[in-house]
Amino acid sequence: MTELNKTDLSGIKYDADGLVPVIAQDHKDGTILMMAYMNAESLGLTLESGKAVYWSRSRKKLWRKGEESGNVQTVKALYKDCDGDTLVIKVDQIGGAACHTGHRSCFFSERDGNAWKVISTPVFNPAEVYKK
């Protein structure tokens, strides 16, 4: 991968709230790990640090992935779609889990007939990791 460079962020289209959706994908096996949002600041910090930084819509603040759990995402590549309104980051998921529920991926429920079926087991116990 070429060196991530934050100087050229042209062509990214943020929504009315100044956010762009970001899909995090495992760079080795292609598993979609999660979907979140970035603003210009979090994208700049991501490119500067090489670690995923998102914008938490619920907390209204920067969210450094893994700041509480230790499950950091090291960015290996960054892509924008043809319209510039969605990003994909390929990451090395440190700690094995991207989801706050303890699952490797946030997409751990699959439609099975007319019901949802959980298709993975948690990597960690959220009650132990997120002691608040």
Instruction: Give the global pTM.
Output: 0.89
In this predicted structure, the answer to whether residue 21 has a pLDDT above a threshold of 90 is: yes
pLDDT digits (tens, 9 = 90+) for 22-74: 999 999 999 999 999 999 999 999 999 999 999 999 999 999 999 999 999 99
CATH topology for 20-120 is Ubiquitin-like (UB roll) (3.10.20)
Residue 1 has pLDDT above 50, yes or no: no
15 CB neighbour count, 10 Å cutoff: 11
Report yes or no: 87 and 22 within 8 Å, Cβ to Cβ: yes
The DSSP code sequence of 10-61 is TT----TTS-EEEEEEETTT--EEEEEEE-HHHHHHHHHHSB-EEEETTTTE
